[in-house]
Amino acid sequence: METPVPTIDIISSFFCQATKKTLEKGTKKTVKYSDTIQAIPKISLKPALGCFVQFNGDYNGLIVMNFTANAAMEIYRNYMITMGLPEADLAKNFTSSEVVDTMGEMVNQVMGRAVRMIESKYDLSVSFGQPKALALNNSITLTPELKYSDNRRMVFAIGTERFTIELSMEKTEFISLNEVGG
């Protein structure tokens, strides 16, 4: 009998697809992700710009998106130009509130797309609040109140700039009743 794919890896795949689709639509740039998902011991907000949001419902977890300054500026710049803002009006520094707020909004859109995809496939839903985005000088390890034992990292690129998603979830397994005879 084949070993089933861990649910967190399935969820990671949905986040990869949602991130790619959301950022490509918003920036009109190609976004790629690595075919390798990394199992990691903990998740952290990392410099230069980190965004996080917890989700709760039929399954529970925490997502963190970490951007280098250049990756944040690349996404911000292309998103704003796609929205029709003249380049002369764009913020010049990743620490500006415009860039931080835009990255928080992008994470919000990624979350919305990912949870809709998961709900469509598994008929399980979650809710989440507004993602928090921070410009950072140092890493911050996040430890949610709930015990999340599974952690993954996914790596993305937009142009030559790289960024990551780190996902932490409670130990859970999605089992289809159709596959077990229910």
CATH code for the domain in which residue 114 is found:
3.40.1550.10
Walk along the chain (182 residues) and give the pLDDT tens digit of each residue.
577 889 999 999 999 999 999 999 999 999 999 999 999 999 999 999 999 999 999 999 999 999 999 999 999 999 999 999 999 999 999 999 999 999 999 999 999 999 999 999 999 999 999 999 999 999 988 877 677 889 999 999 999 999 999 999 999 999 888 776 65
CA dihedral sign of residues 25, 152, 65, 55: positive
| DSSP structure class, residue 8 | H
Q: Which range of residues forms the domain containing residue 56?
A: 7-33+41-171
b or e along 113-133 (b: 16 or more beta carbons within 10 Å of the residue's beta carbon)? bbbebbeeebeeebebeebeb
**Partner residues linked to 125 by β-bridges:** none
* Cα end-to-end distance, the chain, whole Å: 19
Provide the domain count of the chain: 1
Residue 179 in any domain: the answer is no
Residue 182 in any domain: the answer is no
Global pTM reads 0.93
